[in-house]
Amino acid sequence: MKDLLYKIALTKIPLVGAVTAKNLVSYCGGVREVFEAREKELLKIPGVGSQLAINILSKTALEEAEKELLFLEQNEITPFFYLDKNFPQRLRQLYDAPILLYYRGTATLNPRRAVAIVGTRTPSQRGAGICEDLVEGLASFNPLIISGLAYGIDVTAHKASLRKGLETVAVLGHGLSQIYPPQHRKVALEMIQHGGLLTEFTHETGPDREHFPMRNRIVAGLCDALIVVESAAKGGSLITVQQANSYNREVFAVPGRATDKFSQGCNFLIKNNLGRLVESAQDVARAMRWKETDGVERKSFQAELFPDLTDREKQLLDLIQKEEEIGIDQIGYQLNIANSELAATLLNLEFKGLVRSLPGKRYVLS
């Protein structure tokens, strides 16, 4: 519990973002050590100036962290620190991922498949219907549906997921002491039992305008595939797309008429090869190489045909067989393999026909 106090306090230091925080922990050798370091030690760290050192040495961050810790205990909220084993694996390797997340819910944040659905806050009847159809079509593949609980496409995706029995998680642009917009409180409470609410912000943080682009990077990082359903030429959805592309996530966009304002963003993505054209859930499944029978009649990987397998190759195959589908970052973390060795091992196994790669750097047995 004491360590959690320091983890929270690290996020409360003025001028310290995710990248700087990770740098501090790395140089100091731990979270507690950041606060126990002397000023002259802090000033030796690249990027740490006198004002930042003063902020770290101040007791204010620790005092604020104590309030947050009490809130977490009273409201059954789970914290995920970036060095902890339970931190979402899809976010772990992203340079700008939050160092600490707060979660209230029941769904795993490391699902086999995860789809984010975003779009305009003022969808047309056609757009809302397409969003519902996409969720219904995806249901047989049982993905976690991720969005932002905003008006329009976001809440439509959440509601459709709940109706189809899919777990759905909202990434919030504020703390967990409130729900924004308040009109979605009922949906949010239902999601806590059939999904969850996730945020990087401490509980007193309000829904300020600048928080939502920050929220969007988590939406992009948590998914394997991002679907845009209606978007204007500019807006939050296109920011999320930009982030998803930078994270090597698969992006899909629903086309629309050239004259429709909220089709301009999707048409732009398709025209400029920034997103695949999608008209149905089957288009997504085909591009992601998903099968409804995956995991039901799984073939053995027939390792007995390759007696020359190395211990590392056998270890990796055992993990993929156990997980059925797994991302490269998760493999590296669970087996503690260097990126260069992991890439070479996976390539050898692909040449031998034992594994195959899916979009988003995910792997299954052949």
Q: What CATH code is carried by the domain that includes residue 198?
A: 3.40.50.450
* 303 pLDDT more than 50: no
- Does residue 69 share a domain with residue 133? no
Q: What is the pLDDT of residue 293?
A: 47
- Does residue 330 share a domain with residue 229? no
- Number of domains forming the structure of the chain: 3
- Does residue 280 share a domain with residue 242? yes
Is 119 among the domain residues?
yes
- Does residue 337 share a domain with residue 284? no
Tell me the pLDDT band of 333, cut-offs 50, 70 and 90.
confident
- Does residue 209 share a domain with residue 169? yes
- Does residue 255 share a domain with residue 122? yes
State how far the Cα of 212 lies from the Cα of 43, in Å rounded to an integer. 33
Tell me the pLDDT band of 119, cut-offs 50, 70 and 90.
very high
Q: What is the pLDDT of residue 296?
A: 42
Is 97 among the domain residues?
no
Is 185 among the domain residues?
yes
Domain final residue, candidates 260, 288, 316: 288
pLDDT tens-digit map of 122-131: 999 999 999 9
* 307 pLDDT more than 60: no
Which of 18-32, 79-93, 196-210, 297-311 is the least confident region? 297-311
- Does residue 326 share a domain with residue 197? no
pLDDT tens-digit map of 132-190: 999 999 999 999 999 999 999 999 999 999 999 999 999 999 999 999 999 999 999 99
- Does residue 307 share a domain with residue 280? no
**Mean pLDDT throughout 97-117?**
96
Tell me the pLDDT band of 357, cut-offs 50, 70 and 90.
confident
State how far the Cα of 49 lies from the Cα of 226, in Å rounded to an integer. 39
* 297 pLDDT more than 60: no
- Does residue 256 share a domain with residue 109? yes
Is 297 among the domain residues?
no
Q: 328 lies in which domain range?
A: 303-365
* 364 pLDDT more than 50: yes
CATH number at residue 53: 1.10.150.20
* 361 pLDDT more than 90: no
- Does residue 112 share a domain with residue 15? no
Is 255 among the domain residues?
yes
| CA dihedral of residues 97, 102, 105, 110 (deg, nearest 10) | 30
- Does residue 353 share a domain with residue 251? no
**Mean pLDDT throughout 92-109?**
93
- With 0.85 as the threshold, say if the pTM is over it: no
State how far the Cα of 186 lies from the Cα of 147, in Å rounded to an integer. 16
pLDDT tens-digit map of 233-282: 998 999 999 999 999 999 999 999 999 999 999 999 999 999 999 999 99
- Does residue 233 share a domain with residue 113? yes
Is 162 among the domain residues?
yes
Tell me the pLDDT band of 306, cut-offs 50, 70 and 90.
low
Domain final residue, candidates 288, 313, 340: 288
Is 80 among the domain residues?
no
Domain final residue, candidates 261, 288, 315: 288
Is 81 among the domain residues?
no
Q: What is the pLDDT of residue 204?
A: 93
CATH number at residue 316: 1.10.10.10
Average pLDDT, the chain: 91
